[in-house]
Structure 1
Amino acid sequence: MAERLDMNSLSKFDGSNYNQWRFQMNCALRAKGLYEIVHGTELKPENNNETQKAWIKNDATAMFILTSALDYAQITLIENCESSHQIIDKLDSIYLQRSESSKMIAHERFHQYRMKDSASVAQHIANVENVAKKLKDIGETVSDAAIMTKIISTLPQKFLNFRQVWLSVSEDRQTLTNLTSRLVGEEANLSLVEQMETAFTVSSGKNQSAKSKRSTKQSEPSSSGSSKQKSVDQSQEVKQNIKCYQCGKRGHIARFCRNKPKHKSSHRDKEYTSFNVEFPGDVNMENTWIMDSGASAHMSHRAELFSNMSAVSEGTTVVIGNNVSLPVIGKGDIEIEKKIKGEWYKSVITNVLFVPDLRRNLFSEAVATKKGWSIMKEGKMAEILHGSKLIASAILDDNNNYRMLFRNISVHQAQQVTENSLKAWHDRLGHVNFTRVREMIKSGVISGITLSDEDEILCESCLYGKQYRFHHASREVREEEVGERVFSDVCGPIATESSGGARYFVLFKDSATSYLVVRTMKHKSDVLTRLKEYVRMVEKQQGRMVKVLHCDNGREYLNESLQEYLKREGIILENTSPYTPQQNGRIEREMRTVMESARSMMHAMNTPKYLWGEAVNTAVYILNRTPTSEKRSTTPYEAFMGRKPSLSHLKKFGCTAFMHVPDCQRTKLDDKSSKLMFVGYDGNSDNYRLFDPTTKKVKVSRNVIFDEHTTIDTEKKTDQISIAQMENGDDDAEEYPGGRNQIVDLGGASNLAAPEAQRPAMRNPAVNETEPRQDLDGEQFDANPRNVEALQEDEGTVVDNARDYNLRKRDKLQRPGRYTRISLW
């Protein structure tokens, strides 16, 4: 059962906000494992057994939770209910019907809301969000796009230009946060302009009637004079904060700038006269460019004007003023000449959409504004400025359209212009970057290059040849609780099977503690089983649930069964982008560290490759008990387990280990120790894992003595003979008094290594030891104890004393020529 639930933390239902209360109850019931009982999916068992008693107890607990979260007025409605399921059904029948009627009211409030004249933009946005929240509270879906549309559509008329500019903002930046910040800034700018105009009007009136104002001030009361002085001070403060677009100085606006060109009016008249001469009223509109405040992009219907063109996605369209959709065929650049202060300059309009069904060429105000340019319209002239630099001009025609002072040039002329363009020299100089080309010309280190006035454009060839991966910044936010985010990765297939038949292993890393868990697998599809084991371990050992699983796009993680398990457990799956292992860097680095540690340990002691599984487990065991670069003051083991680890029991991987043989597994004459290889640690205990090269099995023991300077040869094969097999195969063999199957080792001298005093020879009291005996071949040999020590020194000739006679009879062992035969009977 889950932890005890604090009933005081649950808010009591008083008849309002039923949906919120019901959501709270569902969360509490799920936490206690009672959700299915309350909602009728887990029925009461029919048999009168322990299962039925447990169900009745759980149902009573659910009833207690529900009634504890109700006030007395609501409890009277459910007094006759006999189960938790009846309680929730009764409440649903009463309050969910009311919610249906409240949805219509909430929708009406949302759609009928209008901004008040006295409200600020911040208040307006807050009001719209509050109305939308009420819809969400009753279960209705209200998208951010709907909220933003409601905010913009109910703005006053003075925000009309802002609406047009907002439509040109890219979709990824059209967020509620961005809209709020922009609207608040636009409101501040409009307020400054209004105050500035008021201040200049007051100042102008003051200069025109200074004497009368002086006399008026002398006759006015002091309080009135103080109030007016305060108003003037505020006006002066406003004037200091506003910036002039004409001269760039603060304190006034362009309309009242004193640094206007002396002949500006004549310049405008000259431009307007020139326009009438060169572009008469009946000019063909197909050749003109119209500045359009509603166009989201530059558009042209004449294919011959494009100097280059690229295809667009099939089905791309644009919508014109009468809500008619026109197909877009391509996008490219158009070379034009623009007239600035009586002179023609060559320029390029980039990213122009080719719309064949369009009747005129459109220059988008939104695109110009997006580039940071400002548009000033005064009288019949319009100017596009970048700071104080004039970019382009337009003149109002008889149809109230601003015609750009552009003239089109043919493709042949455009090709001549591009010969000295920045893009042309970029191509000639081996696609060196645009900034380097400009610096070379500006510094004068080269000669023979002239550039037309052209901005940088995107070079597609450079993208194919130079595009690089973006830097993956390290995650600054680290999880603080166990299970909040778990990284996982699979290694394999490994060419050599482990001693247990595994070809893969999966690694789990807890982000908060850096604690590692490794599990070997025979198949890649075993990841789901290992994941369930890990989730269960975290839940039981730490009392926490795994919330996020971060892994790559391997099929072992993207299969249907694993994803269904994650959905059922409420675990979020985070996948990396394809071919981007950097996004899974934390587990990738751990995987590399584990493999390098395992490989180094195996190489140091020359252990066989099929022990890689034991080496990997040992590497993870050690890494969990050593500090990481992320947390140098503690170890992952301490962070996960809550206690400091002890390293006093660590031994050298692959060294020789002498394991004590229990009494039940040996006879009185058998060795008490077995020579094995140390291959790791058993879980988090102090037990050791020992590999037996004879049986190819791993044994676990605590009673071990280590020789860390040596190892055993796992490839050397020892001849072993079972006494039981020998007795079954030889009718003349004598029965061993011990009655157990013993292994006789014929390959080493370890069985005779004990001193003579500790290993007394077996005697036959019926035989006189002073008389010589005959062996199977009829030869005589003496029972001389000193020859036993000499026999021990002979390499490869070790015979068990108790079975000497039968062994020579069965296997016909040849005695060494320099030793005297002995008998211990």
Structure 2
Amino acid sequence: MENLSHSGMSSSFLPHLITEKLNHENYLIWKRQIMHFIRSQGLFGHLDGSTKAPPISVLQEIKNEAGEVIVVHEDNNPEHAMWMRRDQSLVAYILSTLSQQVLLSVSDDCTAEELWETLADTFSQISEARIMYLKKEFQNLSKGSTSIMDYLGRIKAVADQLAASGNNISDKEKVQQTLNGLGHDYHAFITALEVLPVLPSFNELQGKLLQHEMNMKRVIERTDQGNSQNVLAMNVKFGKSHGNSNHGGRGILPTPHNQGMSPLDTSRKIPICFQCNKKGHMKAQCWFNPQNKNKWVRHHYKQGGQSSKSTAEDMQQLLMTAFSKMTIKQNEQGEWFLDSGAATHVTGNAGKLTNLSPHYGRSCIITGDGKSHPITHIGNAHIPLSSSSLSLSNVVLAPNIKKNIISISKLIDDTSSSVEFTPSSVYVKDLQTKKMFARGERQENMYVLKECLPKDSSTFDIGLKTFSLSHNASSVPSSCHFQSKVRGPNQFLESDLWHSRLGHCGRHFIEKLVTDSLIPRSSLPLTSSVKKCSSCGLCRSHVLPFHNINQRASKPFETIFSDVWGPAPIDSMSGSRYYVLFIDSYSRFTWIYFMKHKSEVPHIFRNFYAMIQTKFSSNVVHFQCDGGGEYSSLDFIEFLREKGITRQISCPYTPQQNGVVERKHRHIVESAMSMMHDTNVPISLWTEAFHTAVYIINCLPMTLLMSKSPYFTLLGKQPDYKNLKVFGCVCYVHVDAALRNKFQDKAIQCRFVGYADEYKGFRCYDPTTKRIKTSRN
């Protein structure tokens, strides 16, 4: 390669730059390394196709003395040979970076662009099923028992695979998924981040999580060390007490003095309580002993029972927290104020919240007067309204705050809603359906949502659960109300009941049974009162029938149908892998263009449109296609707008709406494959067979055209059927006298492969030189 030789790099230097050889797991790492190297050598155009290969041969015309062209022959193009040497050198460099397993799965006879696309298709695994699997895997990622480093590595690996398939995961999505997959141990950490106005980036979050994990390990180590020291001190204390006290032996197993046990030998000196039969304390210090009512005993237990200190304190703290949050409300109407300046939901009443969890962070609430109010807990709130209810997540509990505050920005983000203010009311509506699900009123200068509690009831809020006590003993607690899909017979209309009994059958079945007096007439629903069964609507959905495709436009080129076929499993002789069709709706005349990449469609259509204007003096009105990317580029859409062409796109996964061109694909492929199979021509000539098939189809009569051919309908004259030849048949192409001597054959044996568009002659394949020759003789 000239570029490499000029830069002073040799093939032996490449392995030092590419440290990772491509295998089935490191495609992205390998791609990053080799792309930078190839770009530095100015050869990336051979990979993305921007550096096109020159023609293999050039046409040379031989003229007679009168200046007339008597023969046209092809000569080798030296520029193509130079391009091929550079391209194959790049192929050799890429192959040198592949592992042995990958090297065995790729073809040697290919260009750099083909090799690059093969590797991308193999390892990027760009398919809808793969993308859906990766997205589902990304959403289900969780930390579990793994370390933070392993968890973050899995998230980044899946995100990189999605990015390689063209589905980029934003930094915000990676941060949110990382937080969602953390366990309960990180609840305080997550809450501290969620109250921030802006979440950190994924890189910043990695550092914070690693630091938090190290802090948690230090706390656990200190706790374990402290517990072991406390247990040791407790055992020593009880051991001394047993030896020196006359009244402390109760509850402790006696130990003979002649065994010579060390004071640190605590195997038989742990006290056992006679009240609760638990170790670590005696009956005189037991909480369950009804005689222990004085504060001194409890204080002494707190100081002496070190073995269960952490457990007792945690339990005591939990109980005290729960009872301190107990509130008794008699017909209280709670008020929630909507605030556009609040960053999060806030309440000072713990009874408003459920799923409470302690807050260990340093975050606080700062009010307008500059004062800061500490946050003790975070939970969820459920606000019952007059006609609906509103659920709030991550509500901050700040005991010093006297009012309940709803953050408008957080409400909009969490519920995907919009908030509409009027001079007297405020409405919270669904952003998509515009349906109102919450309504509040204006009180002086504030907008308020009022809780609607049942009358004649008292509500006890204890920490995590809410219980409703009603004067009616048969009523159900409000916290237990739910809407079930299982309904009793008395909740059905009789017509609905029989509809469900008969397996959700149609109305005509019920009418037949009523007519035969097999079921009561009351089971027949009135037409005016029939309601759509939601279960039938969800489970009996069908595809609507499609319109007949045998419809024509009123004039030529009023509507053009188009679609791209490919990629072909084998490249053609010219390197084509795709073709695009343009079909006139009026005449059903078909044009076919072969291409190497789908991105060539806009350029081909421009040339096609120019041909229509020049040859037929017509303009295209409608352009029917699918939603493929080749038809969605900004350049192509802008061209259609400039020409006043209306683009009609078929719905996703509905090729039937573009049925004319889809059916034409089948006709072309079946005809071409039949011709190739019949004459056993090389498969690399598939473009010639497809082109010939289109030429013949345009000459065949169609029922839609009243037994006329597309050729006659568009051009107004009959095609010359006598000019048709059998595809793949043996033919002999005449060699001009100027290209041979007197002892050479006057013709060469070839295979007929089609009709020339630009020449008035035939296209013939020479199996010896493997080239296409155009000749009329």
Establish whether TM, by shorter chain, passes 0.5: no
| TM-score, scaled relative to structure 1 | 0.36
Structure exhibiting the larger radius of gyration computed from Cα positions: 1
| TM-score, scaled relative to structure 2 | 0.38
